[in-house]
C-alpha cells in the first residue's frame, strides 16, 4: 500500500516511550547516477546498443553471415559494426566512469551528524532519514533537510540553488518556528509527503513533543526545506533533519533525461531507409526467384564442373531458398551502410562545435558564448517556421530602470541618480495638470508600500564597514531591485512583518501584512493592474488607469500599489486562515490561494509605478530578419497587452500599416453580449478578413511581392485563449481552434499576452500539431519559458538575468536575442544544407555501389558472387568515400555567411525540408541508378573481349570488379567535388587524398601475398589493370559520362530563381578578409 | 559537481554524442581562428555556361580523335573465330562431342579446316573460348586453395575446406584441389598451315608468356621449391578427378610444370562473364613473312572437354593484338559518340547561352 506521507523521527527519538519504536525503512543516502557496474557493463551496454533498430539490423546481417554460407565474409559487416559498437561502448563507459567518480565524490563526502549530543563525522552516504545534520557555510547540503536551527539570529539562512536550477541569487529559508534551541532534547516527528520531483513544492507538518505539554504542530513548506545540491551562503552553519535521502531527494528525482527530440531530417532519413530497405528486399527477392527459375533449366544448377557438396545436396529446397534469400540480402546489405549513422553522428557532433566557437555569439558582458546542449538538432535550425518568443528578457533586456510613478493620479519622475530621494519627490511637469503634488501622507504611504512589499535582501558585505553604496541588492525579481533602488528610504525597522503573501504568476500580485509601531495592521499589495483594479475601490481606479495605460503604451512595465488597514478581527481571521492553510497537508496551494483572495479585497489604490524595460540590442533587426526569412513570429508573454503591443511595435513586428485583430477580454466584452457568442462572431469575422479575403499565398512568394496586401497582426490574451481552447462544446472547441490557427497563419505577427507558462506550451503544442506539422522554435530566458522551450522542436535559452533554468532546459543557449539571426539564418541554413546533402549523397553513393553487384548476379548464375573484393566492400564506406563527404558536411558554405545574413529570404529556399523532398530523393536515386548501370554495362561491353592487355593476356572477374570499383570511387568522389561550392584546403586534402589513398591502397593490397587471406584474389590485379590502355580509357570515359549530366544540370540550374543574382557576386574569402574583421 | 554529472543524458544505446561543453559553461572567449570561425580561405568555383562551354568543346575535340583512333585500331585487328563444339551433325567434331566419356583411354580427335582471307602479321594469339560456362559462379570461384597453389606443403596435404567436394579423392588430398582446377580445359589444339604446294606445316605454338607474370613467378609456386622433384613432392596426393594426367605431368619443361604450368595458371584466373576467352598459345612474329599468311588451315583438336551437358560452346580464336588489346569496337564507338554528344551539346549550349544571355541583359535593363 502506498502511503501518502512519511513519518520521520527527528534524531531517531521515538515520540512516546511506551510504544515500541520501529524505525521506518528509507533508502540510504547513496546517490547512484551511474548506469553500469564493472560486471554488468558489457551485457547491459550491448543490450542497450542493440536495442537501437539500426544496430540490431546490422547485428542480424552479421549473424546471418556467420551462420549461413554467404558470399561475403562476416568481417565485411562485422568490422564496421564492431567499430561502431566499441566506440560507443567506450564513450558510454567513460561517461559512466565519470558518473561513478562524481557519485563517489558525493557519497564519500564527509558530513557532520549530531548523535546524542555528539558530533560525529560520517560519510555522506551513511546519512539516514531522521539524522540531524550540521552544514557549514559554502557547503552543499548532503540530502534534503528540514531546517531546524540556523546560526543567524533571525532564524533564517540563505542558500543558492545554482547547481539545481541555475539561479544564482540567494534565497531565504526559514527554520521551523518554535523549535527548541537545544536540538538534543528536541523530541519531534515530521510528517511529510512522499518524495516528489517538484523543486518548489513541499508540504509537511512537524509535531513537537514537550514534556507535560500538548504536542505543538508546525507547518512545513518549501521555505523550510533545504534541497540536496544547494549551497549554504551567508550563514555560518545550520542544523537540519534529513527527510529525503539518496535517490529520493528532489535533486535525484529531477534527474530524468529530457525527452529526446528528433529532427525532421532524421524522419526523412528513416523514410528513405525504408525505401532502401524495400529496394534491398525486392532485389533479394528478384534474385532468389530468378535463381530458381534459371536453375530449373537442365544442366545449369549443377554442371559437371561445379558440383555441390553432399551437404548442399541434402539441404531442403525451401531452406535453401531461404538461405539464398538471406545471402542476397547480405550481398546487397551495403546499400544501407552502418557508416551513414556514424557519419551523421560525427557531422552533428563536430558540426555543433562551430556554434560554440563562433565569436559572434560571444557576449563580452557575461563573458560567454553560445552553448550547445544537444547536437541532434543543428539542421532543425534551418527549418524553423514558427518562432515563439518570450518578451521580457528576450525581446527586452530585463534590465529595469525606474522611470516614473504616479500617486493618486499625480505624476512623479525619477530624474537622476545622485538626487535620489529629492528627485523622486520633485514633481515633473511637462504634463500640465500634474503640476500639483499629492498629499505628503499619500506619498509616504506609497513609498512605504514599495519599501515593504518586496523580497529584496540587502547583501551583507563580508567585510563589515564598507561603504554604504557598495551594497548590492539580491531579489527574486529584477523588477523589485529597480523599484527598491528607486526608493531608498529608511529601513523598515519600525514595522513588524507579519505575513508575506507570495507572488505567483496566476494571481500576478503579492502582498505583505505588517504591523506598524503604532499598532496598526496594514496590508500592502503590489501587482499587475489587471489583478489589482478589481480588488480596489472603483472610484480610485479611473485616476490611475490613465497613467497606467499611457505608461504601458510607452512600453513600460507598470505595477499598481494598493493598501488597506486591517482591523483586529480582520487580521485575526486572516492570520488564522493563513496559518491553517499553511499547515494543510493536502491542497495547500489551493487553500492558500483562497485565503489570499479573501484577504486581498477592498483595498485602496495608492499609485502606480512605471519601470522601463529596454529593447534588446538589434531586437527589431532580428525580428525583421526572421520575418523576412518566412518565419511567423509569435510573442508569448505574461505581460499585459498594452506593454506587449508597444514592444511589438518597437520590434517592428507590427508596422504602422498592420491591421490589428484583437481577441481579448476587452473586445469580447464590448458587444455587451455573452462572451461565447462574441468570440464566435469575432473569430468568424477575423477569419473572413484574414483568410478568405486574402489572396491565396503561394509558397515561396516573398513578402516584398505581396506588400500590396494588408498585413494583419493578431492579438489574443490568456483568458480568451483558454476560451478558444476549452470551449464549452466539444465540436466548437476544435472548430475554434482551427479558425484561430488559420487566422494566425495568415497574420504576419501574433501576440499572445497574459499567458501562464503552461499556456505558452499549449500554444506551441497546438501549432506544432497543426496541419503540415510546422517546425517550431521557442526562445526565452526565464523559468516561465521552460515549458515552451521543452515543447518546441527547438528550444533556445537566452543567458539572461532570470536564472539559468531556461538555458539548462534548452537545446541551444545564446547570450543575446540578436544572435538568433545568425544562429538560424547562417548556422541553421548551412547545417541543413550540409546534412541534407550528406544524407542524399550517402544513399546515392551506396546505390551506385551496390547496383553493379546486383546486375552482376544476372551474369554469374545468380550465385551471389560479389563483384568487388571483400576489402573494397568493407573499405568503400569506411575509408574511400567517407572523408570527403564528412569534410563537405562540416565546411560547406554554398552561399557565404555574410550573404546569408544579408538576405534573409534565402532561408525560404530551404523551408519545408526542401532538400529532402521525395522529388529530390528520386533525382538522387535515379542518378545512382544511372551511374550504377553505366559503370556495370560500360565495363561489361569492354569485357566482351577480355583480352585487354597488349600482350594478349586476359582479365578475369576480379579485374572486372576492380575496374568498376575504380570508376565508382572516382565518380562518386568527383560528384561530390562538383557539388562543393566552398573549397578550403581541407576539402582539397580529403578529396584528392581519398583518391590517392584509394590508388595507394589498391597497389598495396594487391602487391603482397597476404598470409591471413584464404584467397589472393586481388594479387596484382590493380597494377595489371593500370597497365592496360583500354582499362584507362574506359575508366576515363565512364567517369566523364557519369558526371556530364551533372555538369549540364549545374549550368542550366544556375540562372533559375529570383535570388540567383544575389548569390552570383560571391566574394571569395581571404585571410585579408579575416584580418579586417578583427 | 553532481549537477554536471547528471547532465549526461540518457542515451538508450543511441550513438548520440552530447554536444560540446556538455553543460559546463565556457567563459572563455572563442578563438578567432579562420577554421573556428568558418572563414578558411576558400576557392568558390561556380560552374557557369561560360566555364563549361569550352570544356564541352575540348572534350569533344579530344574524344572524337581518340575514338576514331580506337575504332580504326580495333578494325585493323585481325580476328578469326571457329566454333568446334560439334553441335551440328555436319560438324567434324560431332562424333567426338557425342561419344564423350571421361575415362576413355583413346582420345577423340577431329580436324576443322578453315580459310584465313587475310594474312596475320606480328604476334598472333590463339585463344579458346567457352560459352555458357559459369566460371564466375560463387561456388566455383571460391573452390580453390591459394596457399596450396603458392607451394605450401601443409595445404598440399590438407586442402582448404573451400575445395569441397574436390578436396579429397579416395582419402587422398587432391592437388590442385577445387572445382576450378578440376575442370581445367584440356582440349589440345594444333594448327596446321596447308601450304598451297600440298604440305601440311605445323604452326609452332608457344605455350609460355600466356599467364600474368606475377601469377607465374609469385602467386603460383610448386611445393618444395624450384628444383624439387615434382613426382616425389606430389607423392601421396591424388590428381583431380577429371584430369587425365597428374599435375606434375602437365609439361615436360620443368619451368612450366606443376602449379606453374601456364595453361593451368590461365585457367585458374576465373573469367568475369559466362562467355569468355582465354589465351591458349602465342604464335611468335616470324618477322620476314606474315606470321600466318592467308590461306587454308587445319585445326586439329584432341576433344576431351565436354560442354554439351550444359549447352556450352567451344571456340578457337586467332587474333592479332594492338596497344589497346584485342578486337573490341566498343571503346572506339563510345568515345566517338561521347565526343560528338559533347560537341553537339557545346553548340546547343552556346546558342542557348547566347540567346538567354541577351534576354537576361535586356531584362536587366528593363528592370
Contact A91 B17 (CB under 8 A): yes
Distance from CA of B264 to the nearest CA of A (A): 14
Contacts A305 to B, Cβ<8 Å = 133, 140, 179, 182-183, 242
* Residue A146 neighbours by CB under 8 Å, 6+ apart: A176, A190, A192, A204, A206, A220, A224, A225, A226, A240, A241, A243
Q: Best of B9, B30, B78 to disrupt the A interface by mutation (most A CBs within 10 Å)? A: B30
Find the CATH number of the domain harbouring A232: 2.70.150.10
Contacts A950 to B, Cβ<8 Å = 321-325
Q: How far apart are CA A332 and CA A284, in angstroms?
A: 8
Q: In chain A, which residue's Cα lies nearest the Cα of B152?
A: A1011
Eight-state DSSP code of residue A394: I
Contact A981 B360 (CB under 8 A): no
- Give pLDDT tens digits for B138-157: 989 989 999 999 988 888 88
Q: Cis (ω within 30 of 0) for the bond into B176?
A: yes
Residues A672 and A540 grouped into a single domain:
no
Eight-state DSSP code of residue A233: E
Neighbours of B201 (CB within 10 A): 12
The residue ranges of DSSP E strands in A748-792, in sequence order, are: 749-753, 776-780
φ/ψ region of A959 (left if φ > 0, alpha if ψ in -120 to 50, else beta) reads alpha
Query: Which of A166-170, A887-891, B9-13, B124-128 has the lowest average pLDDT?
Result: B9-13
Contact A561, A489 (CB under 8 A): no
Contacts B328 to A, Cβ<8 Å = 942, 944-945, 1030
Residues A852 and A994 grouped into a single domain:
yes
Neighbours of A458 (CB within 10 A): 12
Residue A600 counted as domain residue: yes
Residues A578 and A674 grouped into a single domain:
no
A504 forms beta bridges with A509
For position A1076, what pLDDT does the model report?
39
Q: How far apart are CA A301 and CA A989, in angstroms?
A: 50
Best CA proximity match to A587, nearest among A2, A4, A165, A195: A4
Q: How far apart are CA A316 and CA A260, in angstroms?
A: 47
Q: Is the Cβ of A977 closer than 8 Å to some Cβ of chain B? A: no
Identify the burial level of A1025 via C-beta atoms within 10 angstroms of its C-beta, where 0-12 means exposed, 13-18 middle and 19 or more buried: buried
Residue A29 counted as domain residue: no
Distance from CA of B155 to the nearest CA of A (A): 11
Q: Is the Cβ of A260 closer than 8 Å to some Cβ of chain B? A: yes
For position B14, what pLDDT does the model report?
34
Residue A76 counted as domain residue: no
Contacts B11 to A, Cβ<8 Å = 48, 92
Strand ranges of the sheet holding B200-202, from the earlier edge strand across to the other edge: B108-116, B295-303, B188-194, B200-202
Distance from CA of B197 to the nearest CA of A (A): 32
Q: How far apart are CA A762 and CA A771, in angstroms?
A: 16
Distance from CA of B198 to the nearest CA of A (A): 32
Least CB-CB distance to B13: which of A48, A106, A1014? A48
| Domain residue spans of chain B | 50-77+329-367, 81-320
Grid coordinates belonging to A1037: 570515359
Q: How far apart are CA B274 and CA B136, in angstroms?
A: 7
Contacts A1009 to B, Cβ<8 Å = 150, 218-219
Please count the structural domains in chain A: 4
Is the pLDDT confidence value at B19 over 50? no
- Rounded to 5 degrees, φ, ψ at B188 are -110, 125
For position A257, what pLDDT does the model report?
47
Q: How far apart are CA A378 and CA A359, in angstroms?
A: 18
φ/ψ region of A418 (left if φ > 0, alpha if ψ in -120 to 50, else beta) reads alpha
Contact A310 B165 (CB under 8 A): yes
Grid coordinates belonging to A61: 546481417
Q: How far apart are CA B63 and CA A1038, in angstroms?
A: 12
Contact A981 B46 (CB under 8 A): yes
Residues A511 and A635 grouped into a single domain:
no
Identify the burial level of B48 via C-beta atoms within 10 angstroms of its C-beta, where 0-12 means exposed, 13-18 middle and 19 or more buried: middle
Q: How many residues does chain B have?
A: 367
Which pairing describes strands A386-390 and A776-780: parallel, antiparallel, or unpaired?
Answer: parallel
DSSP codes joined into one string, A949-966: STTS-B--HHHHHHHHHH
Q: How far apart are CA A493 and CA A514, in angstroms?
A: 11
Residues A990 and A1000 grouped into a single domain:
yes
Grid coordinates belonging to B187: 582440349
Domain boundary among A214, A230, A248: A248
Residue A218 counted as domain residue: yes
Q: How far apart are CA A178 and CA A181, in angstroms?
A: 9
- Give pLDDT tens digits for A779-814: 988 767 877 888 889 999 888 766 677 787 788 999
Residues A874 and A764 grouped into a single domain:
no
Residues A619 and A595 grouped into a single domain:
no
- Give pLDDT tens digits for A32-85: 777 788 888 899 888 888 887 778 888 888 888 888 877 777 887 788 788 888
Which pairing describes strands A509-515 and A521-527: parallel, antiparallel, or unpaired?
Answer: antiparallel
Grid coordinates belonging to A598: 479573501
Q: How far apart are CA A714 and CA A654, in angstroms?
A: 9
Contact B17 A349 (CB under 8 A): yes
Grid coordinates belonging to A735: 472548430
Residues A216 and A160 grouped into a single domain:
yes
Contact A359 B59 (CB under 8 A): no
Contact B44 A1033 (CB under 8 A): no
Residue A1075 counted as domain residue: no
The residue ranges of DSSP E strands in A442-517, in sequence order, are: 457-458, 473-474, 496-504, 509-515
The yes-or-no answer on residue A693 being catalytic is no
Residue A59 counted as domain residue: no
Q: Is the Cβ of A75 closer than 8 Å to some Cβ of chain B? A: no
* Residue A424 neighbours by CB under 8 Å, 6+ apart: A405, A412, A414, A486, A487
State the residue range of the domain holding A390. 361-394+615-691+711-820
Q: Best of B135, B139, B185 to disrupt the A interface by mutation (most A CBs within 10 Å)? A: B139
Q: In chain B, which residue's Cα lies nearest the Cα of A1067?
A: B44
Buried b vs exposed e over B142-154: b needs ≥16 C-beta within 10 Å? bbbbbbbbbbbee
Distance from CA of B69 to the nearest CA of A (A): 12
Q: How far apart are CA A575 and CA A493, in angstroms?
A: 21
* Residue A807 neighbours by CB under 8 Å, 6+ apart: A166, A371, A797, A798, A799, A813
Residues A964 and A987 grouped into a single domain:
yes
Grid coordinates belonging to A1076: 579586417
Q: How far apart are CA A429 and CA A487, in angstroms?
A: 20
What totals of helices (H) and strands (E) does chain B contain, helices first?
Answer: 11, 10
Q: What is the mean pLDDT for each group of 10 consecutive residues in chain A (1078 residues)? A: 71 60 73 82 87 82 84 80 84 82 83 83 86 86 86 79 61 74 76 78 82 78 83 84 84 62 81 90 94 86 85 86 90 84 86 89 86 84 90 76 74 50 35 45 72 54 34 44 51 64 71 79 81 78 78 73 84 83 71 81 81 80 89 84 80 82 77 72 81 57 48 84 75 80 84 80 87 89 79 87 72 90 93 93 93 94 91 89 93 90 90 89 94 95 92 93 96 94 93 96 92 88 93 94 86 52 39 38
Residue A72 counted as domain residue: no
Q: In chain B, which residue's Cα lies nearest the Cα of A346?
A: B17
DSSP codes joined into one string, A882-925: HHHHHHHHHH--SS-HHHHHH-GGGGGGGGGGGGGSHHHHHHHH
What totals of helices (H) and strands (E) does chain A contain, helices first?
Answer: 36, 31
DSSP codes joined into one string, A995-1053: HHHHHHHHHHHHHS--TT-S--TTTTHHHHHHT-HHHHHHHHHHHHHHHHHHHHHHHHH
Residues A815 and A830 grouped into a single domain:
no
Q: How many residues does chain A have?
A: 1078
Best CA proximity match to A562, nearest among A596, A605, A597: A605
Q: Is the Cβ of A859 closer than 8 Å to some Cβ of chain B? A: yes
Contact A232, A159 (CB under 8 A): yes
Residues A812 and A836 grouped into a single domain:
no
CA distances from B314 to B132, B274, B301 (A): 10, 12, 11
Q: In chain B, which residue's Cα lies nearest the Cα of A814?
A: B25
Residues A240 and A161 grouped into a single domain:
yes
For position A703, what pLDDT does the model report?
43
Active-site residue (options: A131, A144, A358, A390): A390
Between B328 and A579, the more confident residue is B328
Identify the burial level of B17 via C-beta atoms within 10 angstroms of its C-beta, where 0-12 means exposed, 13-18 middle and 19 or more buried: buried
Grid coordinates belonging to A721: 485563449
Contact A305, B243 (CB under 8 A): no
Residue A870 counted as domain residue: yes
Q: How far apart are CA A83 and CA A965, in angstroms?
A: 24
Q: What's the N-to-C CA distance of chain A in angstroms? A: 68
Q: H or E segment at A609?
A: strand A604-615
Contact A1048, B345 (CB under 8 A): yes
Contact B241, B254 (CB under 8 A): no
Identify the burial level of B26 via C-beta atoms within 10 angstroms of its C-beta, where 0-12 means exposed, 13-18 middle and 19 or more buried: middle
- Give pLDDT tens digits for B36-83: 888 888 888 877 777 788 888 999 999 999 999 999 999 999 999 999
* Residue B19 neighbours by CB under 8 Å, 6+ apart: A349, A352, A356, A372, A373, A374, A375
Distance from CA of B214 to the nearest CA of A (A): 7
Amino acid at each position: 500500500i502506498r502511503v501518502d506521507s512519511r513519518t520521520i523521527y527527528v534524531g531517531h527519538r521515538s515520540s512516546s516511550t511506551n510504544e515500541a519504536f520501529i524505525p521506518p525503512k528509507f533508502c540510504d543516502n547513496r546517490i547512484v547516477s551511474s548506469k553500469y557496474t564493472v560486471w554488468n557493463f558489457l551485457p547491459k551496454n550491448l543490450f542497450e546498443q542493440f536495442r537501437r533498430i539500426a544496430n540490431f539490423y546490422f547485428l542480424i546481417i552479421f549473424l546471418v553471415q556467420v551462420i549461413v554460407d554467404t558470399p561475403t565474409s562476416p568481417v565485411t559487416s562485422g568490422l564496421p559494426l564492431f567499430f561502431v559498437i566499441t566506440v560507443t561502448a567506450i564513450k558510454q563507459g567513460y561517461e559512466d566512469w565519470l558518473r561513478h567518480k562524481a557519485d563517489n565524490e558525493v557519497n564519500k563526502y564527509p558530513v557532520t551528524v549530531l548523535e546524542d549530543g555528539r558530533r560525529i563525522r560520517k560519510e555522506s552516504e551513511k546519512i539516514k532519514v531522521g539524522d540531524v545534520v550540521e552544514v557549514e557555510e559554502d557547503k552543499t547540503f548532503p540530502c534534503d533537510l528540514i531546517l531546524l536551527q540556523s546560526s543567524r539570529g533571525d532564524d533564517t539562512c540563505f542558500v543558492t540553488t545554482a547547481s539545481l536550477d541555475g539561479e544564482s541569487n540567494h534565497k531565504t529559508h526559514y527554520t521551523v518556528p518554535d523549535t527548541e534551541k537545544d536540538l538534543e532534547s528536541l523530541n519531534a516527528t515530521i510528517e511529510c509527503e512522499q518524495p516528489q520531483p517538484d523543486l518548489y513544492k513541499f508540504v509537511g507538518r512537524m509535531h513537537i513533543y514537550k514534556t507535560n505539554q500538548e504536542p505543538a504542530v508546525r507547518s512545513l513548506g518549501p521555505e523550510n526545506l533545504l534541497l540536496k545540491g544547494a549551497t549554504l551562503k551567508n550563514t555560518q552553519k545550520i542544523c537540519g533533519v534529513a527527510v529525503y535521502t539518496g535517490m529520493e531527494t528532489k535533486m535525484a528525482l529531477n534527474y530524468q533525461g529530457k525527452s529526446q527530440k528528433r529532427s525532421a531530417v532524421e524522419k526523412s532519413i528513416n523514410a528513405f531507409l525504408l525505401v532502401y530497405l524495400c529496394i534491398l528486399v525486392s532485389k533479394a527477392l528478384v534474385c532468389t526467384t530468378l535463381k530458381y527459375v534459371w536453375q530449373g533449366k537442365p544442366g545449369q544448377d549443377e554442371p559437371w564442373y561445379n558440383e555441390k557438396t553432399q551437404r548442399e545436396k541434402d539441404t531442403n529446397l525451401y531452406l535453401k531458398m531461404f538461405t539464398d534469400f538471406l545471402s542476397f540480402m547480405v550481398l546487397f546489405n551495403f546499400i544501407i551502410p552502418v557508416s551513414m549513422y556514424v557519419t551523421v553522428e560525427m557531422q552533428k557532433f563536430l558540426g555543433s562545435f562551430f556554434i560554440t566557437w563562433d565569436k559572434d555569439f560571444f557576449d563580452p558582458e557575461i563573458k560567454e558564448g553560445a552553448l550547445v546542449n544537444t547536437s541532434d538538432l543543428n539542421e532543425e535550425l534551418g527549418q524553423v517556421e514558427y518562432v515563439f518568443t518570450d518578451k521580457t528578457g528576450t525581446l527586452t533586456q530585463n534590465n529595469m530602470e525606474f522611470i516614473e510613478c504616479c500617486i493618486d493620479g499625480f505624476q512623479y519622475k525619477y530624474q537622476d541618480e545622485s538626487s535620489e530621494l529629492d528627485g523622486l519627490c520633485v514633481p515633473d511637469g511637462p504634463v500640465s495638470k500634474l503640476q500639483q503634488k499629492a498629499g505628503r501622507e499619500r506619498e509616504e504611504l506609497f513609498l512605504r508600500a514599495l519599501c515593504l512589499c518586496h523580497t529584496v535582501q540587502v547583501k551583507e558585505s563580508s567585510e563589515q564597514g564598507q561603504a554604504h553604496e557598495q551594497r548590492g541588492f539580491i531579489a527574486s525579481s529584477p523588477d523589485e531591485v529597480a523599484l527598491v533602488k528607486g526608493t531608498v528610504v529608511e529601513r523598515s525597522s519600525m514595522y513588524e512583518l507579519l505575513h508575506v503573501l507570495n507572488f505567483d504568476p496566476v494571481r500576478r500580485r503579492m502582498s505583505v501584512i505588517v504591523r506598524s509601531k503604532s499598532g496598526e495592521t496594514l496590508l500592502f499589495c503590489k501587482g499587475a493592474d489587471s489583478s489589482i483594479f478589481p480588488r480596489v475601490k472603483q472610484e480610485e481606479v479611473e485616476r490611475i488607469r490613465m497613467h497606467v495605460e499611457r505608461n504601458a503604451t510607452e512600453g513600460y512595465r507598470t505595477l499598481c500599489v494598493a493598501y488597506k488597514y486591517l482591523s483586529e478581527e480582520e487580521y485575526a481571521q486572516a492570520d488564522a486562515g493563513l496559518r491553517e492553510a499553511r499547515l494543510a497537508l493536502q491542497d495547500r496551494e489551493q487553500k492558500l490561494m483562497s485565503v489570499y483572495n479573501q484577504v486581498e479585497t477592498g483595498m485602496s489604490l495608492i499609485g502606480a509605478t512605471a519601470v522601463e524595460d529596454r529593447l534588446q540590442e538589434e531586437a527589431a533587426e532580428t525580428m525583421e530578419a526572421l520575418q523576412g526569412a518566412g518565419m511567423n513570429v509569435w510573442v508569448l508573454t505574461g505581460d499585459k497587452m498594452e506593454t506587449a503591443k508597444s514592444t511589438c511595435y518597437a520590434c517592428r513586428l507590427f508596422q504602422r500599416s498592420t491591421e490589428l485583430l484583437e481577441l481579448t477580454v476587452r473586445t469580447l466584452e464590448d458587444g455587451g453580449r455573452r462572451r461565447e457568442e462574441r468570440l464566435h462572431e469575432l473569430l468568424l469575422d477575423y477569419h473572413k478578413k484574414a483568410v478568405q479575403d486574402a489572396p491565396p499565398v503561394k509558397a515561396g512568394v516573398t513578402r516584398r511581392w505581396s506588400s500590396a496586401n494588408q498585413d494583419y497582426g493578431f492579438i489574443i490574451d490568456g483568458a480568451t485563449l483558454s476560451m478558444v481552447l476549452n470551449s464549452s462544446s466539444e465540436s466548437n472547441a476544435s472548430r475554434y481552434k482551427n479558425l484561430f490557427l488559420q487566422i494566425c497563419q495568415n497574420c504576419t505577427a501574433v501576440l499572445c499576452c497574459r499567458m501562464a507558462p503552461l499556456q505558452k506550451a499549449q500554444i506551441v503544442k497546438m501549432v506544432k500539431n497543426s496541419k503540415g506539422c510546422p517546425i517550431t522554435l521557442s526562445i526565452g530566458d526565464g523559468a516561465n519559458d521552460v515549458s515552451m522551450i521543452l515543447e518546441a522542436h527547438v528550444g533556445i535559452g537566452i543567458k539572461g538575468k532570470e536564472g539559468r533554468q531556461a538555458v539548462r532546459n534548452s537545446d541551444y543557449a545564446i547570450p543575446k536575442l540578436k544572435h538568433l539571426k545568425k544562429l538560424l539564418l547562417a548556422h541553421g541554413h548551412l547545417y541543413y544544407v550540409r546534412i541534407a546533402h550528406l544524407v542524399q549523397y550517402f544513399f546515392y553513393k551506396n546505390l551506385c555501389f551496390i547496383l553493379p553487384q546486383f546486375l552482376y548476379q544476372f551474369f554469374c548464375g545468380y550465385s551471389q558472387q560479389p563483384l568487388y573484393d571483400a576489402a573494397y566492400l568493407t573499405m568503400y564506406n569506411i575509408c574511400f568515400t567517407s572523408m570527403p563527404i564528412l569534410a563537405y558536411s562540416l565546411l560547406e558554405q554554398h552561399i557565404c555567411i555574410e550573404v546569408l545574413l544579408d538576405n534573409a529570404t534565402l532561408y525560404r529556399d530551404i523551408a519545408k525540408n526542401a532538400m529532402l523532398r521525395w522529388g529530390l530523393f528520386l533525382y538522387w536515386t535515379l542518378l545512382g541508378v544511372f551511374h550504377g548501370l553505366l559503370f556495370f554495362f560500360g565495363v561489361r561491353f569492354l569485357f566482351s573481349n577480355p583480352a585487354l592487355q597488349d600482350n594478349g593476356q586476359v582479365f578475369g572477374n576480379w579485374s572486372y570488379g576492380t575496374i568498376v570499383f575504380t570508376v565508382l570511387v572516382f565518380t562518386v568522389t568527383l560528384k561530390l567535388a562538383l557539388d562543393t561550392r566552398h573549397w578550403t584546403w581541407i576539402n582539397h586534402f580529403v578529396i584528392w587524398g581519398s583518391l590517392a589513398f584509394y590508388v595507394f591502397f589498391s597497389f598495396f593490397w594487391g602487391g603482397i601475398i597476404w598470409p591471413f587471406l584464404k584467397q589472393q584474389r586481388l594479387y596484382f590485379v590493380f597494377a595489371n589493370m593500370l597497365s592496360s590502355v583500354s582499362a584507362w580509357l574506359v575508366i576515363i570515359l565512364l567517369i566523364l559520362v557519369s558526371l556530364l549530366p551533372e555538369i549540364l544540370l549545374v549550368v542550366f540550374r544556375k540562372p533559375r530563381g529570383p535570388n540567383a543574382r544575389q548569390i552570383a557576386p560571391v566574394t571569395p574569402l581571404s585571410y585579408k578578409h579575416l584580418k579586417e574583421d578583427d | 559537481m553532481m549537477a554536471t554529472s547528471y547532465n549526461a543524458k540518457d542515451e538508450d544505446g543511441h550513438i548520440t554524442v552530447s554536444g560540446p561543453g556538455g553543460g559546463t559553461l565556457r567563459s572563455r572567449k572563442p578563438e578567432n581562428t579562420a577554421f573556428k570561425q568558418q572563414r578558411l580561405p576558400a576557392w568558390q568555383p561556380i560552374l557557369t555556361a561560360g566555364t563549361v562551354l569550352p570544356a564541352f568543346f575540348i572534350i569533344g575535340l579530344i574524344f572524337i580523335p581518340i575514338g576514331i583512333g580506337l575504332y580504326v585500331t580495333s578494325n585493323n585487328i585481325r580476328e578469326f573465330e571457329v566454333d568446334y563444339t560439334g553441335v551440328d551433325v555436319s560438324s567434324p567434331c560431332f562424333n567426338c562431342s557425342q561419344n564423350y566419356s571421361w575415362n576413355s583411354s583413346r582420345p577423340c580427335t577431329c580436324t576443322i579446316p578453315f580459310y584465313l582471307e587475310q594474312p596475320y602479321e606480328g604476334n598472333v594469339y590463339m585463344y579458346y573460348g567457352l560459352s555458357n560456362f559459369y566460371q564466375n559462379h560463387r561456388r566455383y570461384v571460391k573452390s580453390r586453395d591459394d596457399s596450396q597453389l603458392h607451394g605450401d606443403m601443409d595445404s598440399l596435404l590438407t586442402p582448404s575446406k573451400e575445395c569441397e567436394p574436390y578436396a579429397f579423392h579416395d582419402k587422398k588430398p587432391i592437388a590442385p584441389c577445387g572445382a576450378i582446377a578440376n575442370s581445367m580445359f584440356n582440349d589440345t589444339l594444333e594448327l596446321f598451315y596447308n601450304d598451297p604446294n600440298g604440305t601440311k606445316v605445323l604452326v609452332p605454338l608457344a605455350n609460355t608468356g600466356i599467364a600474368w607474370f606475377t601469377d607465374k613467378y609469385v602467386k603460383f609456386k610448386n611445393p618444395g621449391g624450384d628444383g624439387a622433384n615434382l613426382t616425389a613432392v606430389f607423392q601421396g596426393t591424388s590428381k583431380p578427378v577429371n584430369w587425365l594426367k597428374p599435375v606434375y605431368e602437365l609439361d615436360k619443361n620443368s619451368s612450366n610444370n606443376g602449379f606453374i604450368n601456364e595453361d593451368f595458371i590461365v585457367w585458374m584466373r576465373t573469367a568475369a562473364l559466362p562467355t569468355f576467352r582465354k589465351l591458349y598459345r602465342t604464335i611468335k612474329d616470324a618477322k620476314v613473312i606474315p606470321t600466318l599468311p592467308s590461306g587454308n588451315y587445319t585445326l586439329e583438336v584432341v576433344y576431351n572437354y565436354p560442354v554439351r551437358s550444359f549447352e556450352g560452346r567451344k571456340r578457337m580464336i586467332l587474333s592479332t593484338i594492338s596497344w589497346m588489346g584485342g578486337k573490341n569496337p566498343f571503346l572506339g564507338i563510345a568515345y566517338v559518340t561521347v565526343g560528338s554528344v559533347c560537341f553537339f551539346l557545346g553548340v546547343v549550349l552556346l546558342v542557348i547561352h547566347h540567346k538567354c544571355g541577351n534576354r537576361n541583359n535586356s531584362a536587366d535593363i528593363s528592370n
